[in-house]
Amino acid sequence: MDSGIGGLPYCRHFLARNPDESVVYLADRFNFPYGGREKEELVRIITNLTKQAVKIFNPKIIALVCNTASLTALSHLREYFPELSFVGTVPAVKPAVLASKTGKIGVLGTELTVREAYIEQLAAENGGGEIIGIAAPELVRFVEHRFASASAEEKAEVVQSYVDRFRSAGVDVLVLGCTHFLFLLDEFKQKAAPSITVFDSVKGVTRRVESLLAEKFAEVCESNTAGSRLVLTGNTAPEHSWKYWAGRLGFTVSLLENA
């Protein structure tokens, strides 16, 4: 689950390692973007969406492939749905702090993510450091609406401005704290090198899902007859961009009932 396309790299990585599993990628297009909303509102939105997902898809595991949703609503969801297994996505602050030589850790995310006290707590628990957070809602919108058609020069240019700001602040590690930014991972690594190392959470999320599958569903043998699906909230027909991404991943695309 994510508000838009941000979690698709997580799906791609997971399915490359687990081709016999089927995934429902639920994109909350109707409520995009999440980052500027109040916490109480976002918890309500995600809880209602989870209720629908459970009723319709009966998932083994729900992965919130959204940093903002995870930091805001994950603990509530685990209390509200105690019978379900949830995996959250949080910024890769721990490995970044451990790798930093300057003690200055850059975090690029949504407004809500960079305000979240949990980021500072993560840093403190792993040796400390100064968190330098930059909110980039316009970059989220760029990835969501323009990435597929943007030129290589446009992608490089939009990344360069953020890297320059972090470099000026003296950071030597940069955490991509929004799943949407994974689409620009190569550009960030190229522009940040050699003085700044870029961190993301894709592998960690996949490992956690795999761990839960092995722990709770090792004896469950089900054939993957449904295939993987990309499901959108909202009552308008899927835009061309959604059909493009579904085609790239080999997913069918549909609308969520009653959304």
Question: Which is catalytic among the residues 1, 159, 178, 253?
Answer: 178
Q: What is the DSSP letter of 148?
A: G
Question: Which is catalytic among the residues 26, 43, 66, 159?
Answer: 66
Name residues whose C-beta falls within 8 Å of residue 201's C-beta, 6 or more positions apart in sequence.
67, 89, 90, 91, 92
**Is 178 among the residues known to form the active site?**
yes
Supply 49's token pair.
């969406």
Asked whether the bond before 238 is cis by omega within 30 degrees of 0, the reply is no
90 contacts 65 by C-beta, under 8 angstroms: no
Indicate which residues carry an active-site annotation.
Answer: 66, 178
